[in-house]
Amino acid sequence: MKTGQNIPFKFLVADDSEFARKSLIMALSRIGGNLAGEAFSGQDAVQKYRCLKPDIVFMDITMPGMEGIDALERILQDDSSAKVVIVSSLSHREIVKNALKKGAKHYITKPIQIAPLADIIQFVLSR
Amino acid sequence: MRLDHINPIVDSAITVLAEFTGSPVNRGDMKLRRRPSTSRDVATIIRLKGNVDGRIIIEMDGSTALAMAGLMNNDLFRELDRLALDTLMELANIIVARAVSSLNELEFALRLAPPLIFTGTNVSCFSSLDTETLVVPLHTNVGDMNLSLALRMKTL
């Protein structure tokens, strides 16, 4: 489902922090997102992606067990058209470049700023 | 401990706390402790690994912890429940990750472990990392916090 600011899109949030998931879900819901599901680890995100087929995934990097970048690669192996956005507190060039090289469609730094989210989603889903 | 390790961490704490509280954060006078320990009700500890080894501890009183978690969730917390503790861990994670990113843009190659949170006072941390701890008081509009840094350059 392609989206603009007011068209609903289905999203999956993968983060081991309840606070981070809650904050992101609240922000995305405000701009027309519908929560497909929440994942607590990379492995959980891969499984939930297969079941829920969201339009877009928001993935943390540092998670217990399988990390976000590995989960991103697994999701893209299953579905090369998957749209995964990395959401992390880490922001050094090396890690951002690596995430984009591995197939992330965008990289958002925590704490989440609500204002640019709609534009980022529109950009990612239109690619 | 070197200033080029310390400054990005202190700067990150001040910036992130100011973003979440919406008010300026003031830094107090630094103190040295002989080893990592906590003296306040709630302490979040993050281990750094890489060419700098050590721990960063963010500690605060229970009332400050409740107020901080409440502010970040736009909610009122009467006790430090699971969400409140998780919120404080994520706060520490954001502060340290931002600092690690600044340091990694320089000559460092650092990784951070997931945060641990402790409640209760006078928790001592014993480990092979026998190093002095620098304590930086931070004054926020929800209360005072201590940022404690026990770091040493790893010898290869």
Question: What ipTM is given for this predicted complex?
Answer: 0.85
Whole-number pLDDT of residue A70? 97
Distance of residue A64 Cα from the nearest chain B Cα, in angstroms: 8
| pLDDT band (50, 70, 90) for residue B79 | very high
Tally Cβ neighbours within 10 Å of residue A100.
13
Distance of residue A92 Cα from the nearest chain B Cα, in angstroms: 5
User: How far apart are alpha carbons B128 and B152 in whole angstroms?
Assistant: 12
The mean pLDDT of chain A is: 93
Distance of residue A107 Cα from the nearest chain B Cα, in angstroms: 14
Tell me which residues of chain B have a C-beta less than 8 Å from any C-beta of chain A: 16, 19-20, 72-73, 82-83, 86-87, 89-90, 93-94, 96-98, 100-102, 104-105, 112, 114
Q: Coil, strand or helix: which one is B64? A: helix
Asked if A62 reaches chain B (Cβ–Cβ under 8 Å), the answer is: yes
Whole-number pLDDT of residue B97? 95
User: How far apart are alpha carbons B109 and A78 in whole angstroms?
Assistant: 32
Entry pTM: 0.89
| B89-111 per-position pLDDT tens digit | 999 999 999 999 999 998 788 98
Of B20, B96, B98, the CB nearest to A91: B98
- Taking CB atoms and an 8 Å cutoff, what residues of chain A touch B105? 92-93
- Taking CB atoms and an 8 Å cutoff, what residues of chain A touch B96? 89
Higher pLDDT among residues B18 and B132, named by residue: B18
**Most trustworthy range by pLDDT among A30-39, B32-41, B110-119:** A30-39
Mention every residue, 6+ apart, whose C-beta is less than 8 A from residue A58: A11, A12, A13, A14, A15, A24, A28, A85, A87, A108
Of B16, B87, B104, the CB nearest to A92: B104
User: How far apart are alpha carbons B148 and B123 in whole angstroms?
Assistant: 13
User: How far apart are alpha carbons B15 and B24 in whole angstroms?
Assistant: 8
How far from A86 is each of A61, A103, A127, CA to CA, in Å? 7, 10, 16
Q: Does residue B5 have a pLDDT over 90?
A: no
Window from A2-11, B13-22, B114-123 with minimum mean pLDDT: A2-11
User: Which residue of chain A is at minimal alpha-carbon distance from B113?
Assistant: A62
User: How far apart are alpha carbons B99 and A21 in whole angstroms?
Assistant: 22
Q: Report the percent of chain B where pLDDT is more than 90.
A: 67
What mean pLDDT comes out for the span A1-27? 84
How many inter-chain contacts (A to B, CB under 8 Å) are there?
Answer: 51
